[in-house]
Amino acid sequence: MREILTIQLGSIANHVGTHFWNAQEEYFNYSESSESHTQELNHDVLYRSGETSNGVTTYTPRTLIYDLKGGFGSMQKYNRLFNADDDHQQVTWEQGVNRIDRSVNKSQYQHELDRMETENDPNANLDIVQQLDSSVNNWSDYNRIYYHPRSINPIVTHQMDNEITPFDNYTIGRQAYNENEKEMDIFEDNFRFFVEECDNLQGFQIFTDVDDAFGGFTESLLDNIRDEYLKTPVMTYGLSDSHAEYRTDRHKQKIILNRAFGITRLAELSSIYIPIYTPTVSATKSSGLSHYLYFNEYSRYHTSAIIAAAIETNSLPYRLKHNSVTMAETVSKLNWVRNTSLASLSVSLPLPISEKGYIETIETMTKQTQLRPTISLLDRISTNEKIDTYGESIVTRGLPTNMQGQSEYLQKLYKDFTDENDPLQSRFSLDTSFPLPDSYPRIFTNRVNTDGLICNATYTIDPAKSVPVMTRLESGSILKATVDQQLKNLEKIRFADFYEYAQGECALTREDFLETKEALIGLSDVYTNDDDNMMI
């Protein structure tokens, strides 16, 4: 077995993680007609089996979830699957904390899940499900998963939405990690609990916010991980909000600083660092997918669902029962010269496939634009006609097998992406579609039917149950524009004005700031297109 430990840190990360794990649950609930598809995946890569003190067998995500006090909403540390007696760690806590925050009431959706479990009723109240768009305030509001108690890790040093001591700068995050470890000892207890039970750990998958102090918190965590797992692959998804709310201009500049420290320092500690910005409507229009995908770009409930579909699909090659690849093999393709540790992720959601067949899809999409319907999750992408690609991994899933012309469709789809003879490029095609639990937002238009295919109907009665998806993880000159934008933003900042970054045991100095600028310049040079070098 080749296990992966997933670590989630921050609000956006936990929204993404919630959609990610909700989708995983659907693999265990497929109908008999779809069961053969799920046999492609080895669920033990992401899940762990265990046993409660009462002898009840459990199967829970192998994950650590970090958030501020109050950030867990109504979620409890202990649940119907586990009680305090099942978590031996609780006797070592001086605080004796058993719950995250009992002052927050459960959402209607959570009450409905409780009712369904109590009454053994598989059908949710449709009205409550349809109200999720307006009722979600926190990622736990639509969580469908029972986690092991050791997965739930509040940062006890900081409260969510505290304006007196906001969790909003990189240095505070580094300091908070040290203080939190002194009080809670999460790394020694919970991290080791999950890692040491693995037979053959293949790597770490990290989702982390980088607009606030969680970037610094993650850096300190990664420092600890690298002290003991120097060569183990770490794939870090650094999550930023394209529509981050700024309290003041100063706060806007803090976000710029946090992003710059994050992309340079976390990339140095990671095998691959993937900067991700919440998707925008304009990017969707540019991809040609706006006919099929309609979402609120200001809603984290919506945008994180798209990101989760991309990450979940991108991780499929590591979880296959047969002909799988490891995270280390993917890293070696993307970072084979050891200085290209950045990668970009793009997604086609849904992957356009007409219910009339692949040939019509090719003809229709070619008339509208080129058949390259991918939404980039970068904030800026290179506008050069020629993009140098150093290495990439492309995953397609859910292509119907009962239609003619699949090979022609894939050849056309891949034409601008990969050279099948290039050893640094990988293609994977799976039968399993991306599952859509009822907690997933209704972001697909009425052109997507219940089978996830593109149709001409004016409306559909039921939402799609699953959709075909394609993702592309790429290291190449497409990243230069994002790096250059960060450098441009940083040039406008006078670091001496931000005294709070230079305070405490984990202070960042002016030299650190200048080193960050130099690191961005170095990254910009690495990802410069060969044609640009010739012009210079």
Asked if 394 and 418 count as a contact pair (C-beta separation under 8 A), the reply is: yes
- CA dihedral (204, 209, 215, 221) positive or negative: negative
Q: Check residue 377 and give its pLDDT.
A: 95
3-class secondary structure, 392: strand
Asked if 22 and 439 count as a contact pair (C-beta separation under 8 A), the reply is: yes
- What is the rounded distance in angstroms from the CA atom of residue 181 to the CA atom of residue 219? 14
- Is the pLDDT at 255 greater than 60, yes or no? yes
Structure tokens at 226: 């690298």
Phi-psi region of 151 (alpha: psi -120 to 50; beta: other; left: phi over 0): alpha
Task: Give the model's confidence band at 18: pLDDT under 50 very low, under 70 low, under 90 confident, else very high.
Answer: very high
More confident residue, 174 or 336: 174
Structure tokens at 431: 């039968």
- Return the CATH fold of 344-479: 60s Ribosomal Protein L30; Chain: A; (3.30.1330)
Select, from the ranges 115-124, 168-177, 322-331, 401-410, the one with the highest average predicted confidence (pLDDT): 168-177
Which parts of 132-230 are beta strand (E)? 152-159, 203-209
Q: Domain map of the chain by residue range?
A: 344-479, 481-535
3-class secondary structure, 265: helix
- Is the pLDDT at 420 greater than 70, yes or no? no
Structure tokens at 398: 């859910």
Cis, bond preceding 400 (omega within 30 deg of 0): no
- What is the rounded distance in angstroms from the CA atom of residue 155 to the CA atom of residue 66? 7
- What is the rounded distance in angstroms from the CA atom of residue 27 to the CA atom of residue 126? 22
Q: Which amino acid is at 270?
A: S
State how beta strands 344-348 and 425-430 pair.
Answer: unpaired
Asked if 535 and 386 count as a contact pair (C-beta separation under 8 A), the reply is: no
- What is the rounded distance in angstroms from the CA atom of residue 202 to the CA atom of residue 192? 15
Q: Across-strand partners of 138?
A: none
Asked if 160 and 72 count as a contact pair (C-beta separation under 8 A), the reply is: no
Picking from 47, 209, 211, the residue whose alpha carbon sits closest to that of residue 221 is 209
- Is the pLDDT at 387 greater than 50, yes or no? yes
Q: Count how many Cα atoms sit within 13 Å of the Cα of residue 124 in the half-sphere of its side chain.
A: 19
Residue 460: exposed, middle, or buried by beta-carbon count in 10 A (0-12, 13-18, 19+)? middle
- What is the rounded distance in angstroms from the CA atom of residue 214 to the CA atom of residue 158? 12
Beta carbons within 8 Å of 285's beta carbon, 6+ residues apart: none
Supply the mean pLDDT for the chain. 88
Q: What is the CA radius of gyration of the chain?
A: 23
Tokens 């009723």, located at residue: 121
Beta carbons within 8 Å of 295's beta carbon, 6+ residues apart: 279, 281, 284, 302, 303, 305, 306, 441, 443
Q: Which phi and psi angles does 162 have, rounded to 5°?
A: -90, 110
Which parts of 78-140 are beta strand (E)? none
Task: Give the model's confidence band at 411: pLDDT under 50 very low, under 70 low, under 90 confident, else very high.
Answer: confident
Phi-psi region of 425 (alpha: psi -120 to 50; beta: other; left: phi over 0): beta
Question: Degrees (nearest 5) of the Cα angle 411, 412, 417?
Answer: 85
Beta carbons within 8 Å of 343's beta carbon, 6+ residues apart: 272, 273, 274, 334, 473, 474, 475, 479
Give the mean model confidence (pLDDT) for residues 197-208. 96
Reported as type and span, the H/E element at residue 444 is none
| First-residue to last-residue Cα distance in the chain | 50
Q: Check residue 33 and give its pLDDT.
A: 45
Picking from 145, 135, 226, 210, the residue whose alpha carbon sits closest to that of residue 173 is 210
Give the mean model confidence (pLDDT) for residues 350-372. 82
Q: Check residue 94 and give its pLDDT.
A: 39
pLDDT tens digit string along 96-155? 444 444 458 899 999 999 999 999 998 899 999 999 999 999 999 999 999 999 999 999
Q: Which phi and psi angles does 27 have, rounded to 5°?
A: -65, -25
Tokens 């998963």, located at residue: 145
Structure tokens at 342: 């950045």
Give the mean model confidence (pLDDT) for residues 423-442. 90
- Is the pLDDT at 515 greater than 50, yes or no? yes
Task: Give the model's confidence band at 264: pLDDT under 50 very low, under 70 low, under 90 confident, else very high.
Answer: very high
Q: Which phi and psi angles does 428 have, rounded to 5°?
A: -135, 135
CA distances from 456 to 120, 299, 461, 532 (A): 37, 28, 14, 44
Give the mean model confidence (pLDDT) for residues 327-341. 89
Task: Give the model's confidence band at 536: pLDDT under 50 very low, under 70 low, under 90 confident, else very high.
Answer: very low
Picking from 488, 521, 503, the residue whose alpha carbon sits closest to that of residue 170 is 503
- What is the rounded distance in angstroms from the CA atom of residue 233 to the CA atom of residue 219? 15
